[in-house]
Amino acid sequence: MNLRDLQYLVAVVEQRHFGKAAEQCHTSQPTLSMQLKKLEGTLGVQLFERSSKKVMVTPIGEAIAAKARHILQDSRDIRDMAKAAQDPFAGEFRLGAFPTLAPYFLPRAVPAIHRKLPKLKLLLIEEKTPLLLERLKAGTLDAALLALPVDDDGLETIPLFDDPFLLAVASTHPLAKRKHIRQRDLKGERLLLLEDGHCLRSQALEVCSLIGSSEHQEFRATSLETLRQMVASGVGITLMPQLAIGKDRSVRYIPFEGLAPSRSIGLVWRTHAARAQCILAIRKILDALRAR
C-alpha cells in the first residue's frame, strides 16, 4: 500500500466513476483499476461493488477512504512544510474566492500580491462557499476569501473589510432619484436574489427580513451580472455589494441612510497550516490594498 493507491481510492470514492477518477489522477483506467484490485487484496476487504453502469462504495471502503484523506493531507503538509522552510514566500499558493467577490476583488488583489511576493505562484479557484470550505479542510486550498463568520474549529479567520450593500434600481424606477434610501422605504418591495448556494443570497435574505421586504419568487439569478441586467431591464430591484458596482447608466445605485447593511470579508485558512507565514503576508498586502 502506498500514497498513490490511497489517491486512487479517494478519487474513485469522490467521483463514483473509474474513468473520471483516472483522469483526475492523470493515469489510465486499467492502471487505476488494477492498483485498486491489488489494494483490496492487500487489505483483504472489498472496497467497491463494480457494475457496468456505476460504482458503489462499500461501507468499509468509505471508512478507509476517510482515513486515506487524512493521510494524503498529512503528506501534502509535509511537502508544504519542506517548501516553506526553503522559502516561505515562494512556490504555489492556492487561493479561493466565492463568485460574488472573485471578479471584483481579485483583479486588484492579485497584482498587489505579485508585486510584494514575486516568487509566489498564485493558483486561483472560484467556487461557491460550501465547496471552498470543503477544499480548505481537504487541503487542496491554502486559503480562501470568504464572507464571515465562518464557524469551524479547524479553521482560522482574519477579517479584512466590510463591503456595504447599495440598492440597485433601474434608472427609470421611482426610487432612482433618491440620494439615500432608508430601509423602511423598501417595506413591501420584492427583491431579485441569487440562486441557492450563494452566500450573498443568505445575506440578502437577512436584510429582507430586517426591512420587511420579500424575494421575487419567479426569478433567481446565477450571477451578479445577471441580476444587474434584470434590474436594468426593469424586472425588479436588488442589493448590490459596493465592490460590484458597475458603470452602466441604466442602473442607479443608492446608498442606505445611516448604518448600511453590509457583508464582512475575511481570509480563512486551516489551523496550523504549513503556509501560515505566507498567509499572514498576504493578509498585510490585502489590508494595505483596501486602506487606499
Q: Average the pLDDT over each of 12-16, 76-80, 200-204, 266-270 and give the range with the smallest value.
A: 200-204
C-alpha cell at 130: 460550501
Q: Average the pLDDT over each of 37-41, 156-160, 270-274, 277-281 and give the range with the smallest value.
A: 270-274
Q: What is the pLDDT of residue 289?
A: 81
d(CA 20, CA 11): 8
Q: What is the pLDDT of residue 116?
A: 95
Q: What is the pTM of this model?
A: 0.70
Stretch 215-222: mean pLDDT: 65
Domains of the chain: 3-83 (1.10.10.10), 93-158+267-291 (3.40.190.10), 162-263 (3.40.190.10)
d(CA 132, CA 146): 9
Q: What is the pLDDT of residue 205?
A: 65
Helix (H), strand (E), coil (C) string for 152-189:
CCCEEEEEEEEEEEEEEEECCCCCCCCCCECHHHHCCC
Contact 88, 81 (CB under 8 A): no
d(CA 94, CA 135): 10
Q: Is the pLDDT of residue 226 over 60?
A: yes
The predicted-structure confidence for 255-267, as pLDDT tens digits, reads as follows 988 877 888 999 9
Q: What is the pLDDT of residue 259?
A: 78
Q: What is the pLDDT of residue 248?
A: 80
Nearest to 224 by CA among 163, 177, 269, 181: 163
The predicted-structure confidence for 55-93, as pLDDT tens digits, reads as follows 889 999 999 999 999 899 888 878 877 776 778 898 889
The predicted-structure confidence for 110-119, as pLDDT tens digits, reads as follows 999 999 999 9
Q: What is the pLDDT of residue 210?
A: 57
In which band, very low, low, confident or very high, does the pLDDT at 216 lie, cut at 50, 70 and 90? low
Q: What is the pLDDT of residue 280?
A: 94
Contact 253, 221 (CB under 8 A): no
Q: Is the pLDDT of residue 212 over 60?
A: no
Nearest to 166 by CA among 220, 111, 231, 218: 231
Please state, rounded to an integer, the average pLDDT across all residues of the chain. 87
**Torsion sign, CA atoms 210, 211, 212, 218:** negative
- 247 or 23: whose pLDDT is higher? 23
